[in-house]
Amino acid sequence: MIILKIKEKGLYIEIPGITPFRTPAEVNITHVSIPLVASKLQSQGIFKYEIISDTKGKEKKYTNKDFVKKKRIENSPEERISALENLILNLIDKIPSNQNNNEEQINKKLDQIEKLIKKQPKQKIVKWTPDPEFITKDKDVIKKNSNLKTNPEIEEIFIPTVNVDVMKIKGDSSKITTEQDNADIDEAADLLSQIGKRK
Amino acid sequence: MREKKEIEKNILCLGCDIGTMHICCARSDSDKINTTRNVFLPLDNDNINISDLSDLSYVRSEDDELYVIGSDAFKFANIFGKEVSRPMESGLISAKEIDAIDILTLMLKDLIGDVKDKEAYVSYSVPAEAIDNKRSVTYHENVFGSIFKTLGINCTSINEAMAIIYSECVKEHFTGIAISFGAGMANVAVSYKGTEALTFSTARSGDWIDKQVADSLGMVANRVTGIKEKYMKLTGPIENKNKKTKRVLEALYYYHKALIEYTVKQIIKEFDERIDIEIDEKLPIVISGGTSLPTGFTKLFKEVISGYDIPFEISEIRRAKNPLTAVANGLLIRTISDVKNMAK
């Protein structure tokens, strides 16, 4: 059996192959592939979870860390340009002084440098400017453009829809029935109604 | 059967008490209140034949999962020493149970009965925000709103303890203090002429008692509940001769007393801090809820409260006529009253 455990409260999670559920929860995901579960959770921004696989008494635990792709460490564009400058300087230094007049040699080196420069990312380094849709004032972000589409009510999104058409209830043995006096109820409702009107 | 204006107009009024341990429904066109336990028990279908379930109430899901529901689930779990699953905990919809909402919807549908071709209105109970628990009631309130809409019923949420005022304080014109000792919470309302002056809840009630006793004696909580419901008396000597049961009953007494002490202290504190108006009248205290069912509960409450300096004058301390159905009854009164006002 493979169990997915999420302790964080208040998340509504949809994973293909299992009924959508709300956290905190422990869900049986035996019939769903573990990488699929991990990628779905990651796409929904959920990183704190445990997947416990118990096969023939051997328990294995997986967390988000087990599924994170190890990213290649990339230097910033400034660092790369600086490295390239050093490379060019080194190349120029390596040109022997007695070949100073050898145009062919120099052109060859310059071609190499051009190639290197062309391989650099096309990304521009620009100064960050705030989004024109927002202006900041006293730390509060104020929305400037009122025509922006508003999101649906948060409550509406999180209240689950109920569909019990596919479920059936059988038997009638669980109900207990108590008699009540309806005359008293009507009198009380009349009085409450009158008091309500006086307010 | 009543022949009222509501029926002539094809309007059906309902009162639904959605408690942690029981769900209770009263209808304006019936003299009967239906109650069921708000519990279920998932079954391992590999070991069960459908014929074994012929005498039980159960739910079959789309994936062929089987759940015994209501009182049958409770009996079944006690026989096999299992813990029942609870759609609600501490008075609110449970975050632990994934199937809770679907099963609750089915149980409610079954309990309410036929509403086809009727213009149905329901008042359903919600607890007040707890003063000792951070959980919000908003999600709970909206989930049940959604369930009733699914069932085609117009709905309004009403504070649980206020419903007791509507049911039990008619002669005082809806002035009084109601305390609902339920399973998950103790709900308190102070009402003056039908207006809420103060409502709050505490997360300590019947389940808290059962859990404390179970932890103290190393037992399963629903076994403690079973013993409590079968043998518990809060007056006189313990007559049960079984040594283990006797220990449970002793522990239950201590924790009932501790629960009452705690609730009384909270009432005094909240009254002092939040009530601004001067109430000249003496107030009745009405005690209700499943946890107040054991014989002697009201007497013990009177004994405990007499030891405290109370910031209001008490006219009387009495138990609701039926502590299990008072909330549903009060909710039905409120629905009928609202519908009458709406019609005028």
Mean pLDDT of chain B: 87
pLDDT interval class at A159 (50, 70, 90)? low
B22-36 confidence digits (pLDDT tens) = 999 999 999 999 998
- Tell me what the mean pLDDT of segment A36-55 comes to: 82
Distance of CA B120 to the CA centre of its chain: 22
CA B203 – CA B184 distance, rounded (Å): 6
To the nearest whole Å, the CA of B267 is away from the closest chain A CA by 26
To the nearest whole Å, the CA of B253 is away from the closest chain A CA by 27
- Tell me what the mean pLDDT of segment A3-23 comes to: 79
CA A7 – CA A171 distance, rounded (Å): 36
Q: Are A189 and B57 in contact (CB < 8 Å)?
A: no
B154-213 confidence digits (pLDDT tens) = 999 999 999 999 999 999 999 999 999 998 899 999 998 898 889 999 999 999 999 999
Q: Which of A170, A182, A195 has the CB atom closest to B31's CB atom? A: A182
Task: Return the residue of A nearest to B143 by Cα.
Answer: A159
B202-246 confidence digits (pLDDT tens) = 999 999 999 999 999 988 887 898 898 888 889 888 777 788 899
- Chain B residues close to A178, C-beta within 8 Å: 32-33, 35, 322, 324-325
Q: Are A192 and B195 in contact (CB < 8 Å)?
A: no
Check residues A114 and B158 and name the one with the higher pLDDT.
Answer: B158
Task: State yes or no: pLDDT of A105 exceeds 80.
Answer: no
Check residues B17 and B275 and name the one with the higher pLDDT.
Answer: B17
| Buried/exposed code over B228-266 (b: 16+ C-beta within 10 A; e: otherwise) | beebbbbeeebeeeeeeeebbbebbbebbeebbebbbeb
Least confident segment among A33-37, A79-83, B169-173, B220-224: A79-83
- Chain A residues close to B150, C-beta within 8 Å: 161-164
Compute the Cα dihedral for A154, A156, A162, A163 and give only its sign: negative
Q: Are B59 and A158 in contact (CB < 8 Å)?
A: no
Structural domains of chain B ordered from first start: 5-38+74-167+324-343 (3.30.420.40), 39-73 (no CATH), 176-319 (3.30.420.40)
To the nearest whole Å, the CA of B306 is away from the closest chain A CA by 31
Q: Are B174 and A192 in contact (CB < 8 Å)?
A: yes
State pTM to two decimals.
Answer: 0.67
pLDDT of res. A153: 46
pLDDT of res. A169: 77
Say what the ipTM of the complex is.
Answer: 0.82
B88-109 confidence digits (pLDDT tens) = 877 888 776 667 788 888 889 8
- Tell me what the mean pLDDT of segment B251-279 comes to: 90
Least confident segment among A102-106, B4-8, B135-139, B315-319: B4-8
Question: H or E stretch including A81?
Answer: helix A77-94
CA A41 – CA A12 distance, rounded (Å): 11
Residue in B22, B31, B72, B169 to test binding to A, most A beta-carbons within 10 Å: B31
To the nearest whole Å, the CA of A3 is away from the closest chain B CA by 14
Angle between helix axes A103-119 and A77-94 (nearest 10 degrees) is 170
Task: State yes or no: pLDDT of A11 exceeds 90.
Answer: no
A116-136 confidence digits (pLDDT tens) = 666 555 444 444 444 444 444
Q: Are B33 and A168 in contact (CB < 8 Å)?
A: no
To the nearest whole Å, the CA of B171 is away from the closest chain A CA by 9
pLDDT of res. A70: 54
Check residues A14 and B132 and name the one with the higher pLDDT.
Answer: B132
- Chain B residues close to A158, C-beta within 8 Å: 139
Most confident of A16-20, B35-39, B44-48, B315-319: B315-319
CA A72 – CA A82 distance, rounded (Å): 19
Q: Are B35 and B22 in contact (CB under 8 A)?
A: yes
pLDDT of res. A148: 38
Beta strands in B70-185 (DSSP E): 88-89, 92-93, 119-126, 154-159, 176-181
B65-88 confidence digits (pLDDT tens) = 888 888 888 777 877 777 788 888
pLDDT of res. B51: 65
Could you give phi then psi for residue B201, rounded to 5 degrees?
A: -140, 160
For residue B91 the two structure tokens come to 């008075």
